[in-house]
Chains A and B, each alone.
Chain A
């Protein structure tokens, strides 16, 4: 099948005496979370479609250490970072694309001081570049035409690294109706999962953060909420479910939207 994905590992490439031009850092959520796995495979479809020489680390990849660092465990973070850097440097990796803004932030900002110097981009930036280069072009009859779409800024892509435009540019290429949430871009509201919150119960309060966010989403009545982070995906998806809006609002990653719009999954 033409669109069947084959995912090379850096080890396999090395065995053939090759190195990847870009390493796809899958991340823990992208590797293990079922919903996020679908996004991961879609990113592979995009990479494969445009013929980029890429690879993943596969079983050699390990948590970047981001949740440990944000929860105060600098030891564990640096252990993870140094092991990962050894692996990445061993494969002579120069450029990394990742689907997780938390991995993106850590690899880009916190690895260099520990000896890991790479050009790190988020998948929405890669997709934007591919659109600009004309390598990706939404099909004429794609499903998003005229749909009402909004975008939820992940904190670690937006505020943390000021990537606001790339995901929006991708959505703008769709000929859809884009609406902004009341709290967007630098004023965006967190989904509630960062800083280790993904792995614990919230402290007591009036409501959960993802409910606050999803209420804001519901207010503007979009058909699709675009996400760009596996943690945000989980929180938004759960919010939509709790609010019983699953039939009206779909939560999709920018990568999934791209694959669908370009008919890469057929």
Chain B
């Protein structure tokens, strides 16, 4: 009875804290400007099913794709077991779903195989990160916390899966001894091999079974509450993020309507732009100038670095790293969120996304080649943010590299990015 009470309290508490943190992240994402990503629902569902649910883009790199698939399937499917654990915890029952008979055996059997696959995959992931040192997992922006964060997540998953298997093994042994309520249910294709290593005393076995049960469920609840503080949010946000994907061709950049109104007014003096009270800022100086989708992108990023590994600027040693663009955007959004929460409204902190987080050198190294956008397994778009920051630098501050300003001047004066006269444009027709 006391156990049920403690369980109910922990369960409710963890849901409460998680929803509190989730709300904060939702508010941070809503700091962004409006953008319409609610059209074409059927295409959006299809994109989400293929990219997030079906992991389509992960398979550009086959080894991590397979390892990740195991962990992903394990996570999704073993969560069915979580339902049983929660019901057992709340009502003091034991293996409540066991009435399913043969199907229950099948379920537990598959959970066991998956748990083993998750455990081994996470081990390989740890090796790839810390021993083999896969290149894209060693970049400078991952120093300190991001690397620790990643390792913590992997170690936690290994511990959770070990506890799950150990619990089953103890359960099975108790079943074999015909101990109390341990009826003979379930099939244990993996944990049966642990039996010889377990003690024979039923009371010790019972202790092991119970502590593993508690460790597993408490670990899962703790993990849930760790998510909002970690890079691991992608397990939830990958789904909305792919649903709200950009469905246009990758090459298409938005046309700024604020600019359209001004240009129309310049070309046609009789044109009066629609009145607007909003202060217009061209491009983005800070996270509030980006769209909510840019910020959702930032919170979805799990720092895998496929973007950076494919970025031509990064490959050739430039400072730009698309992953860092996303991490910086997320960190700044979190900082602004804290600021608002603390002060009841945003109080100027003399910081901005540009300069304090993302340098001009990074911005101007981008070739807008869309490799980062193409590679992202969850359709994050770092290029969009880079372009918005460039727009701010150019249109609000007139701060572009000199040669870029010269190019602007040439287009304005001669209609070509180079210094050639417009009248010479068709001279090539004179030669054969």
Docked pose: A193 CA to B366 CA in angstroms: 10
- Mask, B246-281, CB within 8 Å of A = 1, is 001111110110011011101100000000000000
Please tell me which one of the listed residues A71, A75, A160, A208 contacts residue B263 in the complex, with CB atoms under 8 A apart. Answer: A75
Docked pose: A156 CA to B383 CA in angstroms: 14
**Known interface pairs A159-B369, A187-B60. Does A28 touch B364 (Cβ–Cβ under 8 Å)?**
no
B355 at interface by CB-CB < 8 Å: no
A56 at interface by CB-CB < 8 Å: yes
- Give chain B interface residues in 387-432, CB to chain A under 8 Å: 387, 389-395, 400-401, 403-404, 406-408, 411-412, 415-418, 420, 422-429, 431-432
**Known interface pairs A32-B425, A200-B403, A203-B361. Does A62 touch B387 (Cβ–Cβ under 8 Å)?**
no
Docked pose: A71 CA to B393 CA in angstroms: 10
Chain B residues within 8 Å of A31, by CB: 416, 420, 425-428
B164 at interface by CB-CB < 8 Å: no
Please tell me which one of the listed residues A61, A83, A202 contacts residue B425 in the complex, with CB atoms under 8 A apart. Answer: A61
Q: Are B374 and A186 in contact (CB under 8 A)?
A: yes
Chain B residues within 8 Å of A28, by CB: 415-418
Q: Are A194 and B367 in contact (CB under 8 A)?
A: yes
Q: Looking at the complex, which of A14-22, A106-114, A239-247 is the stretch in contact with chain B? A: A106-114
Q: Which of B316, B318, B320, B423 has the most CB of A within 10 A?
A: B316
* Distance of B360 from chain A, by nearest CB (Å): 10
**Known interface pairs A72-B390, A78-B263. Does A187 touch B374 (Cβ–Cβ under 8 Å)?**
yes
Closest to B362 in A: A203
Docked pose: A40 CA to B264 CA in angstroms: 33
**Known interface pairs A65-B411, A72-B393. Does A205 touch B256 (Cβ–Cβ under 8 Å)?**
no
- Mask, A20-36, CB within 8 Å of B = 1, is 00000010101110000
Chain B residues within 8 Å of A65, by CB: 411
**Known interface pairs A32-B420, A109-B248. Does A59 touch B432 (Cβ–Cβ under 8 Å)?**
no
- Give chain A interface residues in 189-210, CB to chain B under 8 Å: 189-190, 192-209
Q: Are A203 and B403 in contact (CB under 8 A)?
A: no
Q: Looking at the complex, which of A3-11, A127-135, A174-182 is the stretch in contact with chain B? A: A3-11
Closest to B409 in A: A76
B305 at interface by CB-CB < 8 Å: no
Closest to A61 in B: B425
* Distance of B93 from chain A, by nearest CB (Å): 51
* Distance of B432 from chain A, by nearest CB (Å): 6
Q: Are B60 and A67 in contact (CB under 8 A)?
A: no
Q: Are A193 and B251 in contact (CB under 8 A)?
A: no
Q: Are A5 and B316 in contact (CB under 8 A)?
A: no
* Distance of B310 from chain A, by nearest CB (Å): 7
Docked pose: A190 CA to B316 CA in angstroms: 11
Q: Are A109 and B251 in contact (CB under 8 A)?
A: yes
Q: Are B404 and A200 in contact (CB under 8 A)?
A: yes
- Give chain A interface residues in 63-80, CB to chain B under 8 Å: 63, 65, 67-76, 78-80
Q: Are A72 and B283 in contact (CB under 8 A)?
A: yes
Q: Are A4 and B403 in contact (CB under 8 A)?
A: no
Q: Are A56 and B395 in contact (CB under 8 A)?
A: no
A96 at interface by CB-CB < 8 Å: no
Q: Are A202 and B418 in contact (CB under 8 A)?
A: no
Docked pose: A9 CA to B259 CA in angstroms: 32
Q: Which of A5, A32, A59, A189 has the most CB of B within 10 A?
A: A32
Q: Are A105 and B252 in contact (CB under 8 A)?
A: yes
B315 at interface by CB-CB < 8 Å: yes
- Give chain A interface residues in 31-71, CB to chain B under 8 Å: 31-32, 37, 40-41, 44, 56, 58-59, 61-63, 65, 67-71
A165 at interface by CB-CB < 8 Å: no
Q: How many residues of A contact B (CB 8 A)?
A: 72
Please tell me which one of the listed residues B392, B407, B424, B426 contacts residue A67 in the complex, with CB atoms under 8 A apart. Answer: B407
Q: Are A190 and B367 in contact (CB under 8 A)?
A: yes
Q: Are B418 and A200 in contact (CB under 8 A)?
A: no
A88 at interface by CB-CB < 8 Å: no
Q: Which of A71, A76, A160, A205 has the most CB of B within 10 A?
A: A71
Q: Are B417 and A67 in contact (CB under 8 A)?
A: yes
Please tell me which one of the listed residues A62, A108, A159, A205 contacts residue B316 in the complex, with CB atoms under 8 A apart. Answer: A205
B312 at interface by CB-CB < 8 Å: yes
Docked pose: A85 CA to B408 CA in angstroms: 19
- Give chain B interface residues in 318-371, CB to chain A under 8 Å: 318-320, 361, 364-371
A227 at interface by CB-CB < 8 Å: no
Chain B residues within 8 Å of A114, by CB: 255, 260
**Known interface pairs A76-B411, A212-B316. Does A197 touch B367 (Cβ–Cβ under 8 Å)?**
yes
Q: Are A109 and B249 in contact (CB under 8 A)?
A: yes
Q: Are B256 and A74 in contact (CB under 8 A)?
A: yes
Q: Are B312 and A209 in contact (CB under 8 A)?
A: yes
Docked pose: A151 CA to B387 CA in angstroms: 29
* Distance of B358 from chain A, by nearest CB (Å): 13
**Known interface pairs A63-B417, A202-B318, A206-B316. Does A195 touch B367 (Cβ–Cβ under 8 Å)?**
yes
- Mask, B193-228, CB within 8 Å of A = 1, is 000000000000000000000000000000000000
Q: Are B310 and A187 in contact (CB under 8 A)?
A: yes
A155 at interface by CB-CB < 8 Å: yes
Please tell me which one of the listed residues A59, A70, A110 contacts residue B422 in the complex, with CB atoms under 8 A apart. Answer: A59
Docked pose: A154 CA to B338 CA in angstroms: 43
Chain A residues within 8 Å of B283, by CB: 72
Sample of 10 A–B contacts (CB below 8 Å): A5-B429, A41-B432, A68-B411, A70-B368, A75-B259, A108-B249, A189-B371, A192-B316, A203-B320, A205-B317
Closest 9 CB pairs of A and B: A160-B251, A206-B317, A195-B368, A72-B390, A62-B415, A205-B317, A190-B369, A109-B252, A72-B394
Apart from A59-B425, A62-B416, A78-B263, what are 8 other A-B pairs with CB-CB below 8 Å?
A41-B431, A59-B423, A71-B394, A72-B392, A73-B400, A75-B395, A109-B248, A203-B364
Residues of chain B touching chain A, judged by Cβ–Cβ distance below 8 Å, are 60, 248-253, 255-256, 259-260, 262-264, 266-267, 282-283, 310, 312-313, 315-320, 361, 364-371, 373-375, 387, 389-395, 400-401, 403-404, 406-408, 411-412, 415-418, 420, 422-429, 431-432
Residues of chain A touching chain B, judged by Cβ–Cβ distance below 8 Å, are 4-5, 7, 9, 26, 28, 30-32, 37, 40-41, 44, 56, 58-59, 61-63, 65, 67-76, 78-80, 82-83, 105, 108-110, 113-114, 155-156, 159-162, 186-190, 192-209, 211-212
